[in-house]
């Protein structure tokens, strides 16, 4: 009996480490120097241009973020002014999400190591020159505090993912009938991102602001789910259109994005009951096509979230109501 007990204990000890192995991470966070510099200049350029989105909460304070600049030499301040002017007349006139040229540039800079020589990355030579001249100024004035904000936001999001990530992602993929990638989704943290505070594009680019107050706590988790869902846009939209074709009716243009707002918010609310979804706190449901979609989602999509109808039935009912 003693030998049998010892054998069982040895087996348990050998099995213990494998049973205790942590699950693969769902997200990985990156906060590169060049990506942060690029996004900061992009936001400042839009402010310089008087873009309508310059007053949004995620970016409105960017032009006021100048502590330490006045003490730099004239040559550095001139280089910084030239960088803002360059962006204002070029990249800042483009849309961070939908302009393919800007998206390619952002992906390249986000992936570049902090010590990269930008001249070898296939970027526009004028942009390389501007960023190279602006880099010492950014490093001296802003990088330390922007980097600190990135670390703090990374830690906040990591706490949320540790507590709720697996359950939230399991629910998300089940509802959409999608599969999470084998490799974790990369999230680029930047002091400033765009007017929304977070965005996602094709090619796996997800960017989140570390200074946007709405990106912390459970709302930060909701934002991660929201932006990750955009990576399935092509797949989900194709499914919506197939359902619409069966009815001989077009899919409302606002539907796919409204689904993301509604679903991501409700998933987090299921897990954290006191959470108020971002769509409500930010007034999303009071604007444009979302105002039309919200009642339809409550009537037809919420039953799907509760398990009383199917995906196709819910979407067909929404499309048929328009």
pLDDT tens, position by position, 212-221: 999 999 999 9
Which residues, including other chains, have CB under 8 Å from residue 237's CB and lie 6 or more apart?
Answer: 251, 256
* Residue 19, in any domain of the structure: no
- Same domain for 135 and 72, yes or no, is yes
Instruction: Name the domain boundary from 189, 215, 241.
Output: 215
Task: Assess contact for 199 and 48: CB atoms under 8 A.
Answer: no
* Residues spanned by the domain of 125: 24-215
The upper half-sphere exposure of residue 316, i.e. CA atoms within 13 Å in the direction of its Cβ, equals: 11
pLDDT band at 24 (very low <50, low <70, confident <90, very high): confident
**Distance from C-alpha of 56 to C-alpha of 58, rounded to nearest angstrom:** 6
Task: Assess contact for 27 and 161: CB atoms under 8 A.
Answer: yes
- Same domain for 81 and 191, yes or no, is yes
* Residue 96, in any domain of the structure: yes
| pLDDT of res. 3 | 42
* Residue 6, in any domain of the structure: no
Instruction: Name the domain boundary from 165, 183, 215.
Output: 215
- Same domain for 39 and 132, yes or no, is yes
* Residue 202, in any domain of the structure: yes
* Residue 48, in any domain of the structure: yes
Distance, CA of 149 to chain centre: 16
Q: What is the DSSP string of 10-49?
A: HHHHHHHHHHTPPPPPSEEEE--HHHHHHHHHHHHHHHHH
* Residue 132, in any domain of the structure: yes
- Same domain for 61 and 193, yes or no, is yes
Can you list the alpha helix ranges (DSSP code H) found in the chain? Answer: 2-19, 33-49, 74-88, 100-111, 125-141, 143-160, 166-176, 217-230, 233-247, 255-271, 278-281, 288-296, 302-305, 311-320
| pLDDT of res. 6 | 37
- Same domain for 211 and 239, yes or no, is no
Lowest mean per-residue pLDDT among 21-30, 138-147, 166-175, 304-313: 21-30
Domains identified in the chain, total number: 2
- Is residue 257 scored above 50 in pLDDT? yes
- Same domain for 198 and 109, yes or no, is yes
* pTM of the model as a whole: 0.90
- Same domain for 206 and 291, yes or no, is no
**Distance from C-alpha of 317 to C-alpha of 303, rounded to nearest angstrom:** 11
* Residue 13, in any domain of the structure: no
| pLDDT of res. 227 | 98
**Distance from C-alpha of 62 to C-alpha of 43, rounded to nearest angstrom:** 7
- Same domain for 167 and 312, yes or no, is no
**Distance from C-alpha of 180 to C-alpha of 169, rounded to nearest angstrom:** 8
- Same domain for 62 and 185, yes or no, is yes
* Residue 221, in any domain of the structure: no
How does pLDDT run across 278-293, given as a tens digit for each residue?
999 999 999 999 999 9
- Same domain for 174 and 239, yes or no, is no
- Same domain for 242 and 191, yes or no, is no
Instruction: Name the domain boundary from 157, 186, 215.
Output: 215
Using alpha carbons, select from 25, 2, 10 the residue that is nearest to residue 228.
25
- Same domain for 121 and 268, yes or no, is no
């Amino acid at each position: 009996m003693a030998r049998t007990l010892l054998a069982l204990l040895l087996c348990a000890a050998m099995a213990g480490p494998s049973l205790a192995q942590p699950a693969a991470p769902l997200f990985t966070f990156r906060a590169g120097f060049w990506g942060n510099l690029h996004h900061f200049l992009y936001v400042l350029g839009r402010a310089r241009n008087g873009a309508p989105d310059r007053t949004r909460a995620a970016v409105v304070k960017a032009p006021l973020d100048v502590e330490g600049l006045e003490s730099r030499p004239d040559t550095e301040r001139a280089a910084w002014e030239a960088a803002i002017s360059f962006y204002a007349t070029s990249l800042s006139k483009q849309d961070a999400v939908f302009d393919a040229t800007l998206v390619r540039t952002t992906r390249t800079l986000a992936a570049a190591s902090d010590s990269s020589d930008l001249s070898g990355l296939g970027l526009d030579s004028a942009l390389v020159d501007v960023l190279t001249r602006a880099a010492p100024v950014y490093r001296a004035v802003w990088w330390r505090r922007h980097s600190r904000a990135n670390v703090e936001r990374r830690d906040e999001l990591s706490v949320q993912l540790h507590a709720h990530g697996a359950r939230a992602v399991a629910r998300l993929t089940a509802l959409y009938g999608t599969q999470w990638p084998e490799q974790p989704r990369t999230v680029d943290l930047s002091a400033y991102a765009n007017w929304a505070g977070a965005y996602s594009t094709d090619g796996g680019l997800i960017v989140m602001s570390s200074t946007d107050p709405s990106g912390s706590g459970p709302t930060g988790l909701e934002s991660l789910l929201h932006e990750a869902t955009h990576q399935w846009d092509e797949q989900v939209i194709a499914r919506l259109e197939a359902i619409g074709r069966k009815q001989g009716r077009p899919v409302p243009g606002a539907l796919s994005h409204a689904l993301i707002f509604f679903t991501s918010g409700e998933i987090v609310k299921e897990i954290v009951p006191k959470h108020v979804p971002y769509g409500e706190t930010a007034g999303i449901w009071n604007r444009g096509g979302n105002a039309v979609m919200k009642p339809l989602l409550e009537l037809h999509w919420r039953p799907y979230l509760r398990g009383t109808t199917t995906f196709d039935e819910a979407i067909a009912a929404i499309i048929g109501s328009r």
